Structure 1
Amino acid sequence: MTHAPVVPIAIDSHARMPAAALPRPWGDDIKRILCVRLDNLGDVLMTTPALHALRTSAPDRHITLLASRAGARAARFIDDIDTVIEYDAPWVKSNRPPDATTDLAMRKRLNEEGFDAAVIFTVYSQNPMPAAMLCHLAGIRRRLAHCRENPYALLTDWVAEPEPHTGTRHEVERQLTLVRHVGALSSNQRMHFTVPPRYVASLNVKLAERGVSLDAPFIAMHPGATAASRRYPADRFAQAAAKLSDLTGWPMLITGGADEADVCAQAGGSHWMSVNLAGALELGELAALIGHAKVLVSNNSGPVHIASALGTPVVDLYALTNPQHTPWQTQHVVLHHDVPCRWCYRSVCPEGHHACLTGVTVEQVVDAAMQLLRSDAAPAAAGAILTTS
Structure 2
Amino acid sequence: MTVERWQQARRILCIRLDYLGDVLMSTPAMRALKESLPGSSVTLLSSAGGAAAARYVPEIDDTIQYCAPWMKSSAAQEAAADFALIEQLAQRRFDAAVIFTVYSQSPLPAALMCHLAGIPLRLAHCRENPYQLLTDWVRETEPQEQVRHEVRRQLDLVAAIGAETRNERLSFRVPPADLAWARNCLRTLDIDEARPWIILHPGASAPSRRYPSQHWTALARDLSARLDCPLVFTGNEDEAALVEQIRGGEARAHSLAGRLDLGRLAALLSLAPLVICNNTGPAHIAAAVGTPIVDLYALTNPQHTPWQVPNRVLFQDVPCRNCYKSICPQGHHRCLAEVTPERVIAAALDLLQGHMPARRLLAS
> What residue number does 1:303 align with?
282
* Structure 2 unaligned residues grouped into runs of 5+: 357-364
* 1:349 partner letter: C
Conserved 8 A contact 2:6-2:121: no
2:269 maps to 1:290: yes
Structure 1 residue aligned with 2:299: 320
Q: Determine the structure 2 residue equivalent to 1:361.
A: 340
Report how many aligned residue pairs link the two structures: 357
Q: Deviations over 1:191-240 (max 9, x none)?
A: 11000111112233444444445565410010000000000011211221
1:203 paired residue among 176, 179, 182 = 182
**Could you state the TM-score of these two structures normalised by the residue count of structure 2?**
0.95
Question: 2:274·2:348 contact (CA, 8 Å) conserved in 1?
Answer: yes
In the alignment, structure 1 residue 330 sits paired with structure 2 residue 312: no
* Alignment of 1:64 onto 2:12: no
Is residue 23–residue 181 contact of structure 1 (8 Å, CA) maintained in 2?
no
**Aligned twin of 1:218:** 197
CA deviation string 1:243-273 (max 9, x = no partner): 2222222210000000111221123233221
Distance 1:38 1:95 in 2: 10
Conserved 8 A contact 1:235-1:266: no
Secondary structure of the residue that 1:225 maps to in structure 2? coil
Q: Which residue matches 2:159?
A: 180
C-alpha distance in 2, partners of 1:256/1:141?
Answer: 42
* Residue 236, structure 1, aligned to residue 212, structure 2: no
CA shift for structure 1 position 279: 0.3
Question: Which letter maps to 1:63?
Answer: V
Give the match for residue 80 of structure 1: 59
Q: CA deviation at 1:28?
A: 3.7
Distance in 2 (CA, whole Å) between partners of 1:347 and 1:32 is: 36
The alignment status of 1:151 with 2:126, answered yes or no, reads: no
Greater helix fraction, Structure 1 or Structure 2: 2
Asked whether 1:106 is paired with 2:88, we answer no
Q: Which amino acid is the alignment partner of residue 306 of structure 1?
A: I
For residue 121 of structure 1, what is the aligned residue in structure 2?
100
SS in 2 for 1:111: helix
- Shifted more, 86-95 versus 179-188: the winner is 86-95
**One of 219, 222, 225 as aligned partner of 1:246:** 225
The amino acid that maps onto 2:260 is L
Partner Cα separation in structure 2 for residue 37 and residue 120 of structure 1: 7
- Alignment map for 1:19-58 (pairs within 5 Å): 22=1, 24-58=3-37
Structure 1 residues 344 and 257, CA, compared in 2 at 3 Å: closer, same or farther? same
Cα distance in 1 for partners of 2:193, 2:355 equals 18
**Which amino acid in the other structure matches residue 347 of structure 2?**
A
1:108-162: CA deviation from partner (whole Å, max 9, x where unpaired) = 0000001000000000000100000010001000000000011000000010000
Distance, in Å, in 1 between the alignment partners of 2:6 and 2:40 is 11
2:362 is matched with: none
Unaligned runs of 5+ in 1: 1-21, 378-389
Mapped to 1, the partners of 2:289 and 2:182 lie a distance apart of 16
Which SS does the other structure have where 2:3 is aligned? coil
Identity over the aligned pairs, expressed in percent?
Answer: 53
Mean CA deviation greater in 22-31 or 306-315: 22-31
Q: Which residue of 2 aligns with 1:3?
A: none
Structure 1 residues 161 and 23, CA, compared in 2 at 3 Å: closer, same or farther? Answer: farther
Q: Give 1:47's aligned amino acid.
A: S
Return the alpha-carbon distance in structure 2 between the equivalents of residues 153 and 192 of structure 1. Answer: 33
RMSD across aligned positions (CA):
1.6
